[in-house]
Amino acid sequence: MNDITVALVQLNTTVGALTQNAASIAERARKAAAAGATVIVFPELALSGYPPEDLVLKQHFLEDCRDAAGELAARLPPDTTVIVGSPWPTANGGASNSAIVFAGGRIVGRYDKMVLPNYGVFDEKRVFQAGERAALLRLGDRQVGLHICEDSWDTGDRACASFSGCAWTR
User: Which domains, and CATH codes, for the chain?
Assistant: 6-169 (3.60.110.10)
Distance CA(163)–CA(137), nearest Å, equals 10
Sort residue 36 into left (φ over 0), alpha (ψ -120 to 50) or beta: left
**Which residue out of 27, 31, 44, 160 is catalytically annotated?**
44
Q: What is the pLDDT of residues 21-59, one digit of tens each?
A: 999 999 999 999 999 999 999 999 999 999 999 999 999
* Known catalytic membership, residue 44: yes
Q: What is the pLDDT of residues 115-148, one digit of tens each?
A: 998 888 888 999 999 998 888 888 888 888 888 9
Q: What is the pLDDT of residues 65-118, one digit of tens each?
A: 999 999 999 999 999 999 999 999 999 999 999 999 999 999 999 999 999 988
* Known catalytic membership, residue 27: no
* Known catalytic membership, residue 113: yes
Distance CA(27)–CA(96), nearest Å, equals 26
Q: Which helix (H) or strand (E) holds 8?
A: strand 6-8
pTM: 0.91
